[in-house]
Structure 1
Amino acid sequence: MKLDTIRDEARSKIEGLEMPESIRTPGRTWTRYPEGLEEKITSSESIEASIETEGEVKVFTGEEVLKKAGKKAFDLIKADENKLNAIHAANINSLIYAEASGESELHIEYSEDRPVMSHLIVDAEKNAELTVTEETDSEEFNTSFTEIYVGENASVEYGAVEKPEGFSYSRRKAITKKYGAINWLNGIFEGDLNRTKIETVLKGDNSETEMTGVWYPTGEQHHDISLHVRHIGDNTKCDMDSRSVVDNKARSLYEGLQKVERTATDTSSFQDQETLMLSDKAESDASPKLMIENPDVEASHAAAAGTVEKDKQHYLESRGLNEDKAERLVVKGFFEPVMREIKVPKVKESIRAEVQRKLDEKE
């Protein structure tokens, strides 16, 4: 199939599809999408990403991707799943396919003054060890799709830092074979409205995933994050850990789902989400969920939101720090448990820089 064919088929379906569902609470739909998104896309002309590789990984771009990837393109994430998926498929301007066969790294970066509609497909073959990073800085309307196939006994470390302006929509999904491992990290720091969904299908026996989210909306920004895992194989493991800081009139929305299929025995699945509220005008909502069809499971979920603890702030101020500096230390300390778990130095440095920039904006 050619890229023009994918675009044409997706374009023909846009009008008949609905927007992705949002969390609803009594009397409220939390995420409402802006009108006229397609009008912000003025061209589907290809964008050249900055790509750096190291080790045993082959990278293909453009039309060559569809020849090499075959049915892997839009297999995990369907183009006709919802309207935003179809808009993405109809306007892709960066298509990348990577095959990793050994220990390797792949770093992709976009810095554009127009919308970026990027699609990355990764095939980590048997025994491969791959580190992948994506960083996007764009304007108006950004979509970022990532499909990852984790081979037998392969491991993938994935990290993304999103800094687009305007509206951003990201979809990331992986499927594992036996003994495969996929660790996700997603950091979100910009955008008027950012909607991100990360999914792992633990199909192979003894496969595992870690899913980590870090986001920091300020002003009137709205960040909406979903983490989903589906346990299918035996002895699969999942650990979700996410943290958000919300300031000014910003909103933080989280939805987590752990689904354990009837076939999945000896499952371990844990989920924790915490939010720090820095303003009484900020808003936060969390919806962690369990769907368990096999009783042979260890599983739990938790979510909490709170303000800066008075005793901590008082302690710091008693040591000579003013209120603003005390708050800065509390914010950094709040993110630190997650930061310690990040295994990709490039992403850790980028997230620390973004957190510092957000704090500096308050001065």
Structure 2
Amino acid sequence: MTLQTILPLSAEALKSLSQQKNEPAWLAESRLNALELASRLELPKPEKTKIDKWYLSDYGTYQPATRVTSLQELPEAVRVLLKEEETANLLVQKDSGVVYSNLSDELKAQGVIFTDLETAAREHSDLVQAHLSSVVKNDEHQLSALNAALWTGGAFLYVPKNVEVAIPLQAVFLTENADATFAPRVLVIADVNSSVTYVDNYISTGDAERLHNGIVEVIAKPGAKVRYATVHQLGLNTTDMSYRRAVTENDASIEWIIGEMNDGNTVTDTSTVLKGNGSTSDAKIIAVGSGSQRLNYTTRAIHFGKDSTSQMTTRAVMREEANAIINGITKIEHGATRSNGEQAEKVLMLSPKARGDANPILLIDEDDVMAGHAASVGQVNPEQVHYLMSRGITRAQAERLIIYGFLAPVVSDIPLEQLQTRLQELVERKVGQ
């Protein structure tokens, strides 16, 4: 069987595309190797979710992007997310490529690099080659291999040693043309004792079926602090397969802030490998499912370092016939003494046909540790609804208030005011449908 019959792109076409984009030889070779791997690997097998019949095979074709220089030239779907002053330290990808990229002179002077991953691979080749695919390996499953082979555009962020970036850097990933490849890859490297906040949004327009196969890799060097915030609001016919992973070295930290607001089928896996002693991970996830969505959210922390700490909090609301599998996995490896892993998953169902399955898992291979979990799944309390209605508000308004109260402990704990507002708006949109 030839590659052409089972993969979205032939080896010859991929090699030609790499030459067309003037990619370094190591990247072209890496892509070809990943494509060959994909021909032998199986699809991932998320817990209790069958994806073999999902829309996962059509990656479209690479279509070069046209660069723009101002906010006014960006698509309307992007402009509504941004204010005029937010065009600094911003990157925008439309379909197959980045169309806007801007970094302030102040950050450039400090040695910060923020550009698309394709440009970074050419201009900062040694840095990218040393870290790309070092966190999410190409051979993990077919989707990781295909992303490694076919990714386009993407984002690359590097913060030098001892540099503290006070202003969040932002990216927007937009898919408009369902015939264009949309497989961005994000690589964040925070060097020793640096700190940075990165925020991105994934959005789509149009009704045609399409696939987002995305990978995020974060490397937090010793003492580095990374805050990674992402909001996914892809449309009804967009299948979202997202794999995010961070590695934290000695005394480094990662804070994940995630809003899962898609309208289509979704699988996400957000993981932290606490490699270093004294490293920390804090993941906050809120999700709203509606319609007939099939959703699978996995959050995990794998402790290798001594005195490492992880916290995971997920709150999800399921409407109509939405079905969610929510997995929290804390793994403390042998030797990770005095580690502490805590997790909590809560699901609120608004309809008799909605389903939520919360699965907290603790895997402990060390004695001198602390670990705990909490999980709950339930319907809206009818007594709460009746009480609120007795105060003169409608049933729909009462349910909204209960939902906001349910999500508030996570949303209010988000340290970015702009992101708090954004998530509140998206929750309003989804529960008001």
> Does the alignment reach a TM-score above 0.5?
yes
SS at match of 1:117: coil
**Corresponding position: 1:8 with 2:32:** yes
Distance 1:329 1:242, change over 3 A: same
Shift in Å, 1:36: 5.7
Separation in 2, partners of 1:318, 1:233 = 54
> In proportion to residue count, which structure has more strand?
1
1:314 and 1:340 map into 2 onto residues whose CA distance is 26
TM-score by length of 1: 0.93
How far the C-alpha of 1:2 sits from its partner, in A, is: 4.1
What is the deviation of 1:50? 4.5
Question: Which sits farther off after the overlay, 111-120 or 297-306?
Answer: 111-120
Q: Partner of 1:355: helix, strand, or coil?
A: helix
Residue identity opposite 1:15 in structure 2: S
Q: How far off is 1:52 after superposition?
A: 5.4
- Unaligned 5+ segments in structure 2 are 1-24, 65-95
Residues 1-35 of structure 1, C-alpha deviations (whole Å, 9 max, x = no match): 544333322222223111111223xxxxx232435
Structure 1 pair 36–142 and aligned structure 2 pair: CA distance change class (3 A):
closer
Alignment counterpart, residue 185 of structure 2, candidates 119, 125, 130:
119
Change beyond 3 A, Cα 1:51–1:320: farther
Match for residue 154 of structure 1? 224
CA distance in 2: counterparts of 1:63 and 1:69, whole angstroms: 10
The one-letter code of the counterpart of 1:82 is H
Tell me: CA distance 1:236–1:299, structure 2 relative to 1, closer, same or farther (3 Å): same
| Structure 2 equivalent of residue 192 of structure 1 | 264
Q: Deviations over 1:178-232 (max 9, x none)?
A: 1111000111111421110011111111111101111111001122111111111
Structure whose alpha-carbon radius of gyration is higher: 2
Which residue number corresponds to residue 377 of structure 2? 305
Specify the alignment match of 1:73 in structure 2: 132
> In 2, distance between residues paired with 1:267 and 1:338?
24
CA change 1:42–1:63 in 2 (3 A) is: closer
Q: CA RMSD in A?
A: 1.8
Cα distance in 2 for partners of 1:36, 1:247 equals: 23
Letter in 1 for 2:43: M
In the alignment, what sits opposite 2:97? 47
Give me the identity figure in percent: 27
Alpha-carbon distance change, 268 to 245 in structure 1, aligned in 2, over 3 angstroms: same
Q: Is 1:22 aligned to residue 46 of structure 2?
A: yes
Residue of 427, 430, 433 corresponding to 1:355: 427
Count of residues in Structure 1 that have an aligned counterpart in Structure 2: 356
CA contact (8 A) 1:219 1:248 kept: yes
Matched, 1:142 2:192: no
Question: Quick check: 1:116–1:138 contact (8 Å CA) kept in 2?
Answer: no
Amino acid at match of 2:370: E
1:238-283 CA distance string (max 9 Å, x none): 1100000001111111111111111111111101000000011111
**Structure 1 residues 36 and 156, CA, compared in 2 at 3 Å: closer, same or farther?**
closer
Spell out structure 1 runs of 4+ moving beyond 6 A: none
> What are structure 1's unaligned runs of at least 5 residues?
25-29
Which deviations, in whole Å up to 9, do the C-alpha atoms of 1:110-160 show, x marking residues without a partner? 223135211111111122110011111136111221111112221111110
1:323-349 Cα shifts (integer Å, max 9, x gaps): 110001011111000011112233222
Using the TM superposition, name which of 46-55 and 236-245 deviates more.
46-55
Quickly say closer, same or farther: Cα 1:110–1:300, change in 2 above 3 A.
same
Residue 78 of structure 1 and its aligned partner are, at CA, apart by 1.0
